Amino acid sequence: MNVLGCIVYKHNPWLVIVAVLICGAGSWVTARLVRRAFATRGMQRAGWQFLAATTAAVAIWCTHFVAMLGYEPGVPVTFDAVLTIVSLLIALAGSFLGLFVACSGFTRAAPMLGGALVGLAISLMHYTGMTAYRVEGIVTWNRLYLVTSIVLSVGFSALAFDQASRKPGAASTGGSVTGARSQVGLVAALLAIAIATLHFTGMCAFEIVPLAIDTHASNPAALQALALAVAGMAFIIAGAGLVSYLLDDSVRAESVEHLRTMALSDMLTGLPNRAGFNERLDAEITRTAAHGGKLALIGIDLNRFKDINDLRGHHAGDEVLKILALRFKSLVREDEFVARVGGDEFVALRRFARRESLDDFLNRLETALFRPIRYDDWEVISGASMGVAIYPDDATTKTVLINNADLAMYRAKADLTRSVCFYEPKMDEMARARRSLAADLRDALSRGQLSVHYQVQTSIASGEICGYEALLRWEHPRHGFISPGVFIPLAEENGLILAIGAWVLREACSRAVTWQPPCKVAVNLSAVQFAHADLPSLVAEVLEQTGLPPSRLELELTESTIFADRERSLETLQRIKALGVSLALDDFGTGYSSLDTLRSFPFDKIKLDQSFVSEAESSRQATAIIRAVLALGKSLGIPVLAEGIETQDQLDLLAGEGCDEVQGFLLGRPVPLAQLVASGKLKLSGAPMALAPSVTVATG
């Protein structure tokens, strides 16, 4: 009798269908779990091996047991309980051993060897279970079917595990998600074939010669009920394995999505980061190109964030960023996007068809950026500079669009009258020129091409020279003299101002120590230099190195320099005063001009800005301001020096109002020290201290 005949004529067809369902479902769940075991390591692999082995053993044993219960030999049937349980344990042990070997990786053939062990376990389980099958008759075995059943089971199991160990890309089904699912289906089919061929071929090898017939010895209905109960348990166990797989798959998907979100988000603010911005920008450019319209890229750079970090600490800077991020999140609407791409740098995107919608977005951003930020007991207005570039008007590629937005943002940063600038083609040429000039300035400092000129400061009452202001000059090899109004802001932007400021201080002090008569030298301080350098230590070091008496050095700074952090500024100024150095408040009247500043800070001189002097003859308001400042100085006991004196009438006016000192072209232009000596206004008592011919400039 062939296998098909054995199935049809000797088995209850309904229980055969149930056995096939168990075999198919169990094999499919086992295939997924085995695939997961191959894909993991460590304790996770051990867990998946346990689930896969349990599901495989249950599928194997239940398929066999239900099919055995459906077998109709025509004689009374009983089962040996011990051997039946032993057969289940064999299935479990064989499946565990086979999976362990298959996943061990000790040889390339390990998956096939493990599969072969599972096939042997299927065979041993089946024939142990057949031994537990007790019938009233003589049992004989067809060796050909028996050997064939074992060979089929071992072969198909080995193929199934070998296929399960392969990555989707290595399989014939391809590397896509569909390919991976097809591969799982192939593994499940091979496992099902291994189980089914073993059982039904093995049953064809099983032949019974009845000895007696006792129709009451067995109860077919009870056996069928037992078969259905076993089938139910099999489906429950297989279902539990499938649910565990699906839950893990769901958790993995959630973890992957969470990791992706983390990878695309800024940890401090919760806004998208640079990677998230790049992904969104690519998508927005593609969408705009496909559907029309325009896309605005807005580069945002905070104006005073570095000062906040330096003066209040990085924790304060972090709080400012968090507050701004919350504002951005509350203002963005559909088709709008804001990300943090650097320390104090943000970017925004806005798709628009009408310019009015872009202007509305810019206004909302500007409001969020310029609204005061209160943290603990202090309040700050950071402000920002914004540069806008529009796709496809200003650029047709991502890289160029970003570069153009940066250029517009730098233009806004340089223009104090505007917080938002739109890209213009001429900005490319200007940016190249500024980068070239910044490189030349770095070279000029390192090669000793900078120089210091000196402008006389005169007492009105005595007409005597009371000091000289040291003014930095740069003669470019190709472009001639560059205005300090051009290269000083450039030096501040590029961090060169610290090295330049230190060099000017040393140069001025080393020259002044030789002057006769020994008058004062005034040196300007940059706001950046005041905020970032340990100024008192630098001043003390320079005075010690050059030998200049502290009383002959005067440091000039503007009120805006100290306004950022009054407490720290007061401490710095007091340390400088303790050295014996004088302090002058420069450009008075153009900044905050707070009376509290003069009351709180130890200034030795007030310098009246030249803009008031130049308008004094034509503007009654300017004259009134001059009188008020002079009266304030006298009431506080602080001398006042007026800058920008260019005519005799201006000098007479200031003399009549009681000004203490004056400075300007009428009295002397800034000139090199050698020219002052040649004119006889200064004499040198000796050679100045030798200075290094070059200065090392930090690139950070």
The CATH fold of domain 274-424 = Alpha-Beta Plaits (3.30.70)
Which long-range contacts does 464-468 make (Cβ < 8 Å, 24+ apart)? 465/517, 465/519, 465/681, 466/519, 466/520, 466/661, 467/519, 467/520, 467/521, 467/522, 467/554, 468/512, 468/519, 468/520, 468/521, 468/522, 468/676
Cβ atoms of residues 93 and 169 within 8 Å: no
Burial class (CB in 10 A: 0-12, 13-18, 19+), 109: exposed
What is the pLDDT, as a whole number, of residue 42?
A: 76
Range of lowest pLDDT (190-199, 417-426, 432-441, 691-700): 691-700
Residue 623: other Cβ atoms inside 10 A: 17
Q: How confident is the model at residue 217 (pLDDT cuts 50, 70, 90)?
A: very low
Q: How confident is the model at residue 245 (pLDDT cuts 50, 70, 90)?
A: low
Q: How confident is the model at residue 8 (pLDDT cuts 50, 70, 90)?
A: very low
Cα 345 from Cα 321, distance rounded (Å):
10
Nearest partner of 160 among 30, 40, 249, judged by Cα: 30
Q: How confident is the model at residue 473 (pLDDT cuts 50, 70, 90)?
A: very high
pLDDT in tens, 313-343: 677 788 888 889 899 999 988 889 999 888 8
For domain 435-683, the question of CATH label 1.10.1740.110 is answered with: no
- Give the start-to-end residue ranges of the domains of the chain: 3-257, 274-424, 435-683
pLDDT in tens, 268-317: 888 888 888 998 999 999 999 988 889 999 999 888 777 676 666 677 78
Which ranges of 205-313 would DSSP assign to H, the alpha helix? 220-263, 274-291, 305-312
Strand partners, 234: none
Residue 480: other Cβ atoms inside 10 A: 8
Domain 435-683 in the same topology as domain 274-424: no
What is the pLDDT, as a whole number, of residue 695?
A: 38
Cβ atoms of residues 613 and 573 within 8 Å: no
Q: How confident is the model at residue 258 (pLDDT cuts 50, 70, 90)?
A: low
Cβ atoms of residues 230 and 65 within 8 Å: yes
Distances, alpha carbon 440 to alpha carbons 50, 244, 581, 662, in Å: 71, 67, 34, 35
Q: Which residue has the higher pLDDT, 133 or 292?
A: 292
For residue 148, the surrounding DSSP H or E stretch is helix 143-165
| Sign of the torsion formed by the C-alpha atoms of 276, 280, 283 and 285 | negative
For residue 349, the surrounding DSSP H or E stretch is strand 345-352
Q: Which residue has the higher pLDDT, 586 or 453?
A: 453
